[in-house]
Amino acid sequence: MIVSKLTLRNFRSYHHLELEFGKGLNIIIGENAQGKTNIVEAIHFLSLARSFRTNESCDLIAQTCQFATIEAKVEQDTTKKEITAIITPSSKKILCNNKPVRKISDLSKLINVIVFEPKDSLMFNDSPNVRRNFLNVNLSKKSPIYLEALMRHERLLQERNLILKKDSIDKTQLNVVTKQLIDASETIVNYRSVYVNEINQILSKIITQLKGEKEKAYIEYIPFVPFDKNFKDVALRAYEKNLDSDIKRKATQIGIHREDIKMILNGKDMSSYGSQGENRVAVISLKLAPYFLIEDKSKRPIVVLDDVMSELDKTRQEKLLTFLRKLEQVFITSVNTNVKNASIYEVKEHTVTRRNA
């Protein structure tokens, strides 16, 4: 899967921009605040109908303009598609070959993008929500069943919390909603457990190649109750045990929305071990792992790495580039990078010039 052409209109700093891309490494260079991240942000937006930089649609629209559009020609084997996003301050619409795309799970099959951004280096020192989001995004792309269970859980969690906020709590209603919440949770915990095991089959191999020395890495997922044949009974007892606390705090204190993962590298927890450069390599490895879990190579995602080279020494930069050359299409933004056998796009004052290929 590759983006062969990208057209932006009124998107961020670009009133009109057309770029053609090829397979392999596409390096977008330029000083800060020149517009290079805007380009990769647009590519990523097409895969999830949201930005990795902002939740506000109006931030994506050029000043004084009423809307923005992103158009991309996407090639997968012999199939060619045109994906279009139309963004207004209050809405967003995605089209594939001029037909509406209504589900995010359908969209990610049309154009799948993995993104690494600078703040991801702090993933294992950040809030648990950031790490859960890694699982949720990747599993939602992979499985409509997971996405449906996650959305159902969110609705039921809101309903349960509304019941807990009432002065007089209907225990019968609360029990019904809690059991429905557990049903959705069982699916989510099952999928998370399997997915973590799949990642752990390849994580050490990736980080070993990026660091150039043998490493043993895995992520550890601890569900709020163990996943086995007794999951529902154990989960119900856990909710019953925590009920007084939930009533006191007027919110659900346990469940899949409070779970976490951690990365263990050579026997040590990454949240309290390693330099920022080492954390960066570990998180890059984790972010790239889903790429290799897709068996059909034509469906493997486009990789976006925003400002990935900073805080990596030259040796690690070279090892990363060597690794990335194995992937079908990669976009890297950088202040200045001399890379051989890559397409270079120089951004200066929101104008893009292709230097060489």
Asked if the model's pLDDT at residue 109 lies above 80, the reply is yes
Quote the tokens at residue 137: 């995004």
- 151-159 average pLDDT score: 97
Q: Could you report the per-residue pLDDT of 49-64, keeping only the tens digit for each?
A: 889 998 888 999 998 9
Is pLDDT at 337 greater than 80 in this prediction?
no
Q: Which of 14-23, 151-160, 245-254, 266-275 has the lowest mean pLDDT?
A: 266-275
Does the pLDDT of residue 86 top 80, yes or no?
yes
| Strand partners for 14 | 11
Query: 113: which 2 tokens?
Result: 């993008």
pLDDT at 12 over 80: yes
Per the CB < 8 A criterion, the answer to whether 24 and 344 are in contact is no
The SS3 assignment for 238 reads: helix
pLDDT category at 220 given cuts 50, 70, 90 is very high
Nearest to 286 by CA among 336, 219, 339: 219
The pLDDT-based confidence of 341 (bands split at 50, 70, 90) is confident
Find all residues with CB under 8 Å of 209, minimum gap 6, and list them: 319, 323
- Cα–Cα distance between 42 and 263 in angstroms, integer? 30
Model confidence pLDDT, tens digit, residues 272-309: 876 777 888 899 999 999 999 998 888 899 999 998 88
Helix (H) or strand (E) holding 260: strand 260-265
In the predicted model, is pLDDT for residue 233 greater than 90?
yes
Average pLDDT over every residue of 32-36: 87
Task: Name the band, by pLDDT with cuts 50, 70 and 90, for residue 248.
Answer: very high
In the sheet where 260-265 sits, what is the strand order? 217-222, 260-265, 268-269
- Cβ atoms within 10 Å, residue 268: 11
Residue 179: HSE in the Cβ half-sphere, 13 Å Cα cutoff: 6
**By the 8 A CB rule, do 121 and 283 touch?**
yes
Q: Which of 121, 113, 109 is nearest to 303 (CA)?
A: 113
Distance CA 18, CA 20 (A): 7
Distance between CA 59 and CA 251 in Å, rounded?
32
| C-alpha atoms less than 13 angstroms from C-alpha of 221 in its C-beta half-sphere | 21
Using the structure block, give the residue that is written with the tokens 């990523």.
Answer: 44
Amino acid at 315: T
* DSSP-based three-state secondary structure for 221: strand
Contact between 157 and 252 (Cβ < 8 Å): yes
What is the tens place of the pLDDT at every residue in 251-281? 999 999 999 999 999 999 988 876 777 888 8
Q: pLDDT exceeding 90 applies to what percent of the chain?
A: 72
Percent pLDDT > 70 in the chain is: 99
**pLDDT tens by residue, 194-213:** 999 999 999 999 999 998 88
Mean pLDDT, rounded, of the chain: 92
* Residue 222 banded pLDDT, cuts 50, 70, 90: very high
Residue 94 has pLDDT above 60, yes or no: yes
The pLDDT of residue 357 is above 60: no
Contact predicate 40/117, CB 8 Å: no
Length in residues, the chain: 357
DSSP-assigned beta bridge partners for residue 92: 87
